[in-house]
Amino acid sequence: MATKQPTQNDECPQAPAQAEVQAQQQPQPQSSSSSSSSSSSSDPTEISEPNIYVALTHDHLNYQTTIDRVRSPEAGAIVVFAGTTRNNFNSLPVKHLSYTSYAPLALGTMLTICRSILVKHGLKGIAMVHRLGVVPIGEESILIAVSSPHRQAAWRAGEEALEECKAKVEVWKREEFAGEGGGVWRANRDGAVGVRVDEPKIGDGEGDKKEESNK
């Protein structure tokens, strides 16, 4: 597994941001069935502070848990974005996707993004959870939930949070195409190659779906 999972705070004393990273037992109740074989795969890595939750996990993403993290009596809207893994890239069939991360750095970047967007849009809460490891086609690879007093701010904040995440968070997607050897490291940035030698250049990623629950 290429993922650097800071499952123990004392394993990387030279990595300062890990002091605020907590490694805890899986809090999502029904998600253990998707664990991969890695021994660290069921240990989510997360940071929470008032009104903000960010996490990386090898398990299924849970809508209800994520929405509940931003629920507030002062909110009139919760917007949830779900990024799901698409079965093709420019018509090339993708048989397999996996994500890896530089976990302590990625969590720090997610936290910075969420802090900024929380303030900018006057949110009551924001949660951002990215899945790692193999994500079967059609499943969620990222959930972002935001709550705000009124829906307009929530829509805008949700979109901005996703765009910032895709531009900055240190997570990498690898696509394996059916009938071809090897795989492709995708790059979100326009014009960036960011892939192995002899790999085709690639563009934007997953299929999207949005939900709004307006109260």
Binding stretches for other proteins (CB under 8 A):
1-8, 11-17, 40, 83, 99-102, 104-106, 108, 130, 141-142, 162, 165-174, 185-189, 192-197, 205-206
Tell me: is residue 166 an annotated ligand-binding position: yes
Q: Six-digit token pair at 16? A: 């300062």
Q: Cα separation of 188 and 118, whole Å? A: 24
Task: Name residue, tokens 């936290």.
Answer: 111
Least distance CB 65 / other proteins (angstroms): 20
210 is in an annotated binding site: no
175 is in an annotated binding site: yes
- Looking at the Cβ atoms of 119 and 197, the one nearer to other proteins is 197
Q: How far is the CB of 215 from other proteins (least distance, A)?
A: 27
Is 156 annotated as ligand-binding?
A: no
- Residue nearer to other proteins on the CB measure, 62 or 141: 141
Q: Which residues, 6+ apart, have CB-to-CB distance to 118 below 8 Å?
A: 51, 52, 125, 126
Closer of 2 and 122 to other proteins (Cβ): 2
Nearer to other proteins, 37 or 50 (CB): 37
In the complex, least distance from residue 102 CB atom to other proteins, rounded to whole angstroms:
6
Q: How far is the CB of 85 from other proteins (least distance, A)?
A: 10
Please tell me the chain's helix, strand, coil percentages from 3-state DSSP, rounded to the nearest 5.
Answer: 25, 35, 40
Number of helices followed by number of strands (H, E) in the chain: 3, 12
150 is in an annotated binding site: yes
Name the residue nearer to other proteins (CB basis): 120 or 196: 196
What the block records as the tokens of 160 is 């901005």
d(CA 16, CA 161) in angstroms, rounded, equals: 25
Amino acid 27 reads: P
In whole angstroms, what is the distance from residue 31 CA to residue 47 CA? Answer: 19
Three-class secondary structure of residue 69 per DSSP: helix
96 is in an annotated binding site: no
Min separation Cβ 166 and other proteins, Å: 4
Q: Which residues line the annotated binding site?
A: 150-151, 166, 173-175
Q: Which residues are annotated as a binding site for substrate?
A: 150-151, 166, 173-175
